[in-house]
Amino acid sequence: MEPLYKPQGVEERWQGTWEAEGLYNAEPGSGRETFVVAHPPPNVTGALHTGHALQISLADSLVRWHRMRGFETAFLTGYDHAGISTQNAVEKHLASQGKTRGDYGRDAFVELVWDWLREYGGTIMHQFRRMGASMDYRRERFTMDDAYVRAVMRFFVHLHRKGWIYRANRIINWCPFHETALSDLELVHEDVDDALTYVRYPFVDDLASGVTIATARVATILGDVAVAVNPNDERWRDAIGREVLVPFVERAVSVIADERVDPEFGTGALKVTPAHDPLDFEIGRDHGLPEPSVIGPDGRMSEEAGELAGLSQEEAERRILDWIKERGWLERREAYRHTIALCERCKTRIEPLISLQWWCSMEELKKPALEALRSERVRYHPESQHRFAIESLENAPDWNISRQIWWGHQLPVWECPEGHETVEEAEPERCSECGSTELVRSEDVLDTWFSSALWPFAILGWPEETPELDAWYPGTLNTTAREIIRLWENRMIFSGLELMSEIPFSHVIIHTTVLAPDGRRMSKSLGTGMDPLDLVDEHGADATRYGLLKISSSQDVRFSLTAVEEGRKLANKLWNVSRLILANVGDAQPEARPKSLEEEWMIARLDSAHATITERFDEFDFAGVARRLYHLTFDEFCDWYAEAIKPRLYEGDADAQPTALALLERLLKYLHPVMPHVTEEIWSHLPHRTERLIVSAWPEWDGRYADRQPVFEQIRTAAEVFRRSGVMPALTEDQRRIFEAVVRPERVKADSDAPAEIARLEEEVARAEGMLANERFTSKAPSEVVQAEREKLERYRRELDALRN
C-alpha cells in the first residue's frame, strides 16, 4: 500500500469485479424485504451531466446501504427513446450531410435512427458504472424494446376503452421546424425585443373613429374575427356591439365584451384571432366565433391568407403595415420587450395553431393519484415539493399525447376509407365499424412521457405477470429533478394506480439543482456546463460522490470543487489510517474486545455515528450523512483513537490489535455507501476477509460504552488547556497515557500563554455568573438549562484554579 491513495485504476477494477461477481444482481423471490429503485432512464443519446451524477450518488448510497442491511435490492435502469430529442439529433446529423428526413421517408428514417443509436447511443450506462452505480445492468430496458412497446399499446387501448382518450381540434403549441405539436412542458421561454403596433379598426358606420388595438403579431390580423374589450372598461363601453373593419381584409367584425381582456394592457382592446393565440382561442370558442387559420404548419402564410398566401410572416407584416399606413389607420409603433415560447429542442419560435390532436383526459386519472398524495401514501421530499406536486396535479390540464414526428411509439389507431377509427393493440384485420380491410395506421406517435409513465412496471414485464413484477412492484423510491415532477413523477403515480391498482413507490426525492459556480444554471448553451467524468478522472468517483452529496442540502446550490477535494482527502485519510493499522496488527483477527478508555470511547462514537447516519439517511439528508462520516473519520477515528493506540500498536500490544481491526472494519462499512471503491479496496487488504464489503452486513449497534464519553472528553479539554497555556491539568493514569500519546507534550513548544488563557476563562466565569445571578433566568429557564450553566461555571473555576497554581 502506497502512502498516497490513487483512485485511478482501483475504481474501474472494483466496478468490473462487483459486476462480474454478480453482486449488483437482483433476484426476485428471495423472500427478503425489498428495496427497489427504478432509476430515471436517461435519453438514449445523452451523456452524463452533473444532474445524473448527483442522482446516481444519492440513489446508489441508499441502495448500497440497504443492500448491506440485508434488503433484496433492485436498482434498475435503462434508456428512454426520447422522441423529439433523438429525432432532432439524427436530423442534425443528416443536415451536416446536406440531407433531410424527407429524403428518406418514414420507414427508412426510423431504420436510420436505430443504426445511429447503435453507433452513437447507449454510452451513458458506462458512465453510470464509472460512478460506481450498483445497478443490475443485466436488466437494462429500453422504451422501444418490443415488450415495452406492447405495454405502451396496452396503456393506450386501456385508456381509450375507458373513454379517457379522445381526439379534438384545439389550439396547441406547434414547432414549425419539427412540424409537430408540443405540450406546454416541452417549451422554453425567452425575452425578445419586438414592436407593439397600435392600429385603429374603424367603425363600419363611422370610418373616422373606431377602436384602437395593440398587437405584437401584425400578420395575424388577417385571422381576426372580433375585437374584445373588458365589459367594465368605461372607455369602450359604447363600442360594445358595434362593428369595426379588420384592416387589409376589410372584414366587418363585432366588438364583444369579455372579462378576460386586461384593461391595463395597451388600449384595453384586444383583436381576437382564435386560430393563433391561446387566449383568443378560448374567447372565440365561448363566443361561437369562426377560426380562420392564416398561418400554416410551416410557419408561413396559408391559403386562407388570400393574396398574401405563401409569404413569410415578416413579409406579410410589411405588406399589411403599408396598407394600414396608407389609410392612416396606424396610430404608432413602440419598442416592446416580451416573452415568447420556443421549442426546447430546436429553439424555433412556437406557433399557436389549431390542430386535430389526441388528448388524454385527466379528470378521472388524477383522482386516485391525488388521494395517494393527500394521504401521503406517496410522499415527495422535501415537504414543499409535496405541496407543489399536489397543486400541479389538481390543475393538470388534459394532456396532448400525440406528436407529428417519426421516432416514437406509433398510435395503435387504424383508419378506414370511411373515416372510422379502430383502436387495437395489434393491427386489426378489418374496420371495427364497417369491416373494411383497407386500413391505414395513424401517422402520429405518442408523447415520450406517455411511455415513461409506465417505467416502474413496464420494465418488470407488465402486462405479463412476471416474478419481477410480483416481487418489485410497488417499488420504494424515485429520485428526480424539480422540473420533472409534472412531466414524469405525477404521471407514474396515476398510471401505476390505474393499471396496477397500487402506487409505484412511496417516496420521491426531489434533489438539489446544482448550479455553476457563478450561480447560473448549468447548461451547454450558456457554456456553464461541466463534465462530471472529468471530476471522476481527476479526483475519483468516491470523491465526486462525496462532494455531490455534501452540497446536496438545499433547493439550489452552487457547485464547489472544494467539496470534491474534501472527498478526495477523506479517501486518502482513510487509506493512510488503514495502512497504520494493517502494518501493526500482525496476523490478529478482527474482534472488538475493548480493554481501554480510548477503545470504549471509539465504540461509543461509532455508535453515535451509526445513529446519526441512520437518521440522516431516513430523512434523505445526504449532506448530513457526508458531514458525519467526515468528522467520524478525521476527528474521532484518526486524530484521537488512532493516535491514542499508536504507541500500543508499535509495542505489539496484543490487546490493541484485534480491536483496531474490528473498529476499522466498522468504519469502512459506514463509509461504503458513500465511498464504495476505496473502502472495498482497503477491505481487500484486511487479513482473513473473503467476502466483499459491498455485501457484508451493516454493523450492529454496541451500546455499552456511552457513559465513557465524559471521561474521555476530559482529556480533550485538558489538551486544549495545555496547548494554549502549557499548564498540565490533573488526569487519571489512563487519561494521562492517552493524553501523552495524542498531545505529545514533549513536542509542544514552551511558549505558554497562561495569562491569556486565564483572562479567557475569567470572561467565561463572569458570563456564567452573570446569567446565574439573573433571577429572571434562574426562575424562568428550564431547570436543565440552569443546571448545565452551573456545571459549566464549576468547570471553568476548576480550570482557572489549575492555571493559577
Partner RNA sequence: GGGCGGUUAGCUCAGUUGGGAGAGCACCUGCCUUACAAGCAGGGGGUCGCAAGUUCGAGCCUUGCACCGCCCACCA
Q: How many residues bind RNA (CB under 7 A)?
A: 92
**Smaller CB separation from RNA, 5 or 472:** 5
Part in contact with RNA (CB under 7 A); list of ranges 67-75, 316-324, 733-741, 788-796 = 788-796
Contacts of RNA in 464-493 (CB under 7 A): 482-483
Among 99, 161, 162, 189, contact with RNA (rule: CB under 7 A): 189
- Find the shortest distance in angstroms from Cβ 474 to RNA: 27
Least Cα distance to 597 among 651, 664, 648 occurs for 648
For 110, list phi and psi in degrees, rounded to 5: -60, -40
Between 236 and 472, whose beta carbon lies closer to RNA? 236
Beta strands per DSSP E along 47-115: 72-76, 78-79
Chain-centroid distance, C-alpha 175: 27
Least separation in angstroms between CB 716 and RNA:
9
Q: Which is nearer to RNA, 201 or 796 (CB)?
A: 796
Q: Binding to RNA by residue 4, rule CB under 7 A?
A: yes
Question: According to DSSP H, which parts of 592-636 are helical?
Answer: 597-618, 622-631
Q: Does 787 bind RNA (CB under 7 A)?
A: no
Q: Is 653 in the site for RNA (CB under 7 A)?
A: no
Alpha-carbon separation of residue 575 from 109, 195, 328, 588, 612 (angstroms): 53, 65, 83, 19, 23
Shortest reach from residue 224's CB to RNA, in Å: 10
Pairing of strands 507-510, 477-480: parallel
Of 538 and 702, which CB lies nearer to RNA in the complex structure? 538
Helices (H), 258-378: 278-286, 313-326, 366-374
Q: What number of H helices and E strands is found in the chain?
A: 27, 25
Asked if 322 interacts with RNA (CB under 7 A), we say no
**Segment 666 to 695, residues that bind RNA, using CB under 7 A:** none
Identify whether the C-beta of residue 378 lies closer than 8 Å to the C-beta of residue 506: yes
Report the nearest approach of RNA to the CB of residue 262 (Å): 4
- Binding to RNA in span 168-187, by CB under 7 A: 184-185, 187
Nearer to RNA, 185 or 758 (CB): 185
User: Minimal distance in Å, beta carbon 415 to RNA?
Assistant: 31
H/E stretch holding 468 reads helix 467-472
Q: How far apart are CA 718 and CA 232, in angstroms?
A: 80
Integer Cα distance of 632 and 743 in angstroms = 19
612 three-state secondary structure? helix
Residue of 30, 100, 232, 555 interacting with RNA (CB under 7 A): 555
Binding residues for RNA restricted to 330-349, rule: CB under 7 A? 338-339, 341
Distance CA 327, CA 208 (A): 11
Are residues 4 and 106 in contact, defined by beta-carbon separation less than 8 angstroms? no
What's the one-letter identity of residue 352? P
Q: Contacts with RNA in 391-420 (CB under 7 A)?
A: none
DSSP 295: B
Burial 434-471 (b: 16+ CB within 10 A, else e): eebeebeebebbbbbbbbbbbbbbbbbbbbeebebbeb
Q: Shortest approach of RNA to residue 457 CB, angstroms?
A: 26
* Contacting RNA within 501-530 (CB under 7 A): 513, 515, 517, 519-521
104 binds RNA (CB under 7 A): no
Q: Which three cell numbers stand for residue 579?
A: 495502512
- Our CB check for RNA shows the closer of 23 and 526 to be 526
235 near RNA, rule: CB under 7 A:
no
* Under rule CB under 7 A, residue 278 binds RNA: yes
Q: Using the minimum distance from each CB to RNA, give the nearer residue, 20 or 750.
A: 750
- Residue 572 makes contact with RNA by CB under 7 A: yes
Binds RNA (CB under 7 A): choice among 553, 608, 614, 696: 553
Which lies closer to RNA via its Cβ, residue 36 or residue 269?
A: 269
Alpha carbon distance 89, 108 (integer Å): 16
Would you list the DSSP string of 772-794?
HH-HHHHHHS-HHHHHHHHHHHH
Q: How far is the CB of 733 from RNA (least distance, A)?
A: 22
Pairwise CA distance, residues 734 & 738, whole Å: 7
Query: Which positions from 584 through 623 interact with RNA, judged by CB under 7 A?
Result: 623
Instruction: Please state the closest distance from residue 145 (CB atom) to RNA, in A.
Output: 29
Q: Does 97 bind RNA (CB under 7 A)?
A: no
- Least distance CB 410 / RNA (angstroms): 27
CB of 726 to RNA, least distance (A): 12
Output b/e per residue, 176-196; b: 16+ Cβ within 10 A.
Answer: bbbebbbbeebbeeeeeeeeb
Q: Does 797 bind RNA (CB under 7 A)?
A: no
Based on the shown chain and the rule CB under 7 A, indicate whether residue 261 belongs to the binding site for RNA.
yes
Using CB under 7 A as the binding rule, whether residue 560 contacts RNA is answered as yes
Shortest reach from residue 577's CB to RNA, in Å: 4
213 vs 210: CA distance, rounded Å: 10
CB 474 within 8 A of CB 505: yes
The span of 246-254, 363-371, 455-463, 570-578 binding RNA (CB under 7 A) equals 570-578
Residue 376 contacts RNA per CB under 7 A: no
What cell was used for 131?
Answer: 460512478
Q: Does residue number 626 form part of the binding site for RNA (CB under 7 A)? A: no
Rule CB under 7 A: say whether 387 interacts with RNA: yes
Q: Given candidates 39, 366, 379, 569, which one binds RNA under the rule CB under 7 A?
A: 569
Give yes or no for a contact between 723 and 743, defined as CB atoms under 8 angstroms apart.
yes
Local structure of 195: helix, strand or coil: strand
Residues 716-775 that bind RNA (CB under 7 A): 719-720, 723-724, 747-749, 764, 767-768, 774
650 binds RNA (CB under 7 A): yes
Query: Using CB under 7 A as the criterion, what x/- string covers residues 13-32 for binding RNA?
Result: --------------------
Nearest distance, CB of residue 645 and RNA, angstroms: 10
Question: Cβ of residue 40: shortest distance to RNA, in angstroms?
Answer: 16
Residues near 767 by Cβ (< 8 Å), separated by ≥ 6?
A: none
Closest CA to 606 of 635, 582, 581, 584: 635
Among residues 356, 440, 583, 697, the one that binds RNA under rule CB under 7 A? 583
558 is a contact residue toward RNA (CB under 7 A) = yes
Q: Which of 562, 589, 732, 787 binds RNA (CB under 7 A)?
A: 562
Instruction: Give SS3 for 681.
Output: helix
Considering only 217, 287, 319, 420, the residue that binds RNA (CB under 7 A) is 217
Asked if 577 interacts with RNA (CB under 7 A), we say: yes
* 114-143 residues near RNA, rule: CB under 7 A: none
